[in-house]
C-alpha cells in the first residue's frame, strides 16, 4: 500500500483526538489528568497530559499502517479498488492505441477523417484524466476514513502510554526534517512499535496472514494513495494536427 492520506489530515485528526481525550480524561482514572476544555479556547491545552520529563517520538503514519487493523482494512480497500484500476488501465490503453493510430496513419487520412480521429483522441484523453482524478480522490477519501477511525482510537493509547512511561512530550516523525519538526532522534526514544503492540492488544484484530511491509520510523513513510495501478493517464501532449 502506498500513500493513503494527507499529512495535513493526520495532523488535524491527531489534534482533534487529543482534544477529545483532554475533555474526557479527567473522568477516567486510567488516563493522565488533563485540563478541561473551555469554549473560548481555539486549541486544546494538553500541557498537563504528560507530566514526565522524557521526550519520545512516534511515526503516526507507520503506526496506523502497521497495526493489524490498518493492514487488514487497507488491504481490503486495495482489493475493492482493483476493478476501477482495471477499468482505468483499459481506457488508458484505448487512448494510447488511438494516438498510435493517429501517428502512424494520420498523414494517409483525408482532412475529415484525420480531424475526427484527433477529436476522438482529445475527448477520450480528457475523459480519462477526469476519471483518474475522480478515482484518486475516491481512494484517498476512503483511506482517510480508515486512518481517521484508527487514529481516533490510537490517540488515547499514546497519551496513556506517555503518562505511564514518564514522557512529557511525544513528537511525530511521519514527516522527515526539514518538512517535519524532528531533525534527528535515536531509536531508543521511538515508541511506534510499543504503541502498535498496545493497539493490537486492545483492538483484538488478528495479525494478517501476509504482513504488509512498512518503512522504518522517520524514513518518511506514508500511507497516502498514489493513483490506482495502471491508471496513469495518457500523455497530455496534444496530438499532431
Rounded CA separation 232/127 (Å): 13
User: Binning pLDDT at 50, 70 and 90, where does residue 106 land?
Assistant: confident
Mean of the pLDDT values across residues 146-156?
96
> Is there a domain that residue 26 lies in?
yes
> Is there a domain that residue 2 lies in?
no
Please tell me the predicted confidence (pLDDT) of residue 212.
Answer: 55
Please tell me the predicted confidence (pLDDT) of residue 109.
Answer: 85
Q: Within a 10 A sphere around the Cβ of 157, how many other Cβ atoms?
A: 19
> Is there a domain that residue 40 lies in?
yes
Of 20 and 180, the structure prediction assigns the larger pLDDT to 180
Mean of the pLDDT values across residues 40-62?
65
Of 147 and 19, the structure prediction assigns the larger pLDDT to 147
Residues in contact with 206: Cβ distance below 8 Å, sequence separation at least 6, in sequence order: 68
Mean of the pLDDT values across residues 86-104?
93
Averaged pLDDT score across all residues of the chain:
74
User: Binning pLDDT at 50, 70 and 90, where does residue 114 land?
Assistant: confident
Cell 483511506, located at residue: 143
Please tell me the predicted confidence (pLDDT) of residue 159.
Answer: 94
| Residue range of the domain that includes 105 | 7-203
> Is there a domain that residue 212 lies in?
no
What global pTM score does this model have? Answer: 0.64
Rounded CA separation 184/171 (Å): 11
Please tell me the predicted confidence (pLDDT) of residue 79.
Answer: 95
Mean of the pLDDT values across residues 162-170?
93
> Is there a domain that residue 211 lies in?
no
> Is there a domain that residue 208 lies in?
no
Please tell me the predicted confidence (pLDDT) of residue 75.
Answer: 95
**Contact (Cβ atoms closer than 8 angstroms) between residue 38 and residue 153:** no
- How many domains does one find in the chain? 1
> Is there a domain that residue 222 lies in?
no
> Is there a domain that residue 240 lies in?
no
**Contact (Cβ atoms closer than 8 angstroms) between residue 153 and residue 60:** no
Q: Would the pLDDT of 52 be above 90?
A: no
Amino acid at each position: 500500500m502506498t500513500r493513503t492520506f494527507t499529512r495535513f489530515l493526520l495532523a488535524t485528526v491527531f489534534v482533534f483526538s487529543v482534544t477529545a481525550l483532554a475533555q474526557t480524561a479527567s473522568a477516567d482514572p486510567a488516563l493522565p489528568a488533563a485540563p478541561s476544555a473551555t469554549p473560548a479556547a481555539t486549541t486544546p491545552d494538553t500541557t498537563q497530559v504528560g507530566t514526565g520529563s522524557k521526550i519520545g517520538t512516534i511515526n503516526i503514519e507507520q503506526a496506523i499502517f502497521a497495526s493489524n487493523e490498518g493492514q487488514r482494512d487497507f488491504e481490503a480497500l486495495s482489493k475493492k479498488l482493483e476493478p476501477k484500476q482495471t477499468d482505468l488501465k483499459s481506457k488508458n490503453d484505448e487512448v494510447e492505441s488511438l494516438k498510435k493510430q493517429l501517428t502512424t496513419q494520420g498523414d494517409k487520412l483525408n482532412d475529415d477523417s484525420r480531424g475526427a480521429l484527433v477529436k476522438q483522441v482529445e475527448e477520450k484523453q480528457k475523459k480519462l484524466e477526469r476519471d483518474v482524478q475522480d478515482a484518486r480522490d475516491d481512494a484517498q477519501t476512503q483511506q482517510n476514513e480508515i486512518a481517521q477511525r484508527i487514529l481516533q482510537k490510537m490517540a488515547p493509547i499514546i497519551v496513556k502510554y506517555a503518562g505511564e512511561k514518564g514522557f512529557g512530550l511525544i513528537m511525530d516523525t511521519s514527516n522527515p526534517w526539514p518538512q517535519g519538526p524532528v531533525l534527528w532522534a535515536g531509536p531508543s526514544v521511538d515508541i511506534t512499535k510499543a504503541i502498535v503492540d498496545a493497539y493490537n492488544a486492545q483492538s483484538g484484530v488478528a495479525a494478517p496472514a501476509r504482513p504488509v511491509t512498512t518503512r522504518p520510523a522517520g524514513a518518511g513513510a506514508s500511507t497516502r494513495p498514489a493513483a490506482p495501478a495502471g491508471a496513469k493517464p495518457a500523455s497530455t501532449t496534444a496530438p499532431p494536427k
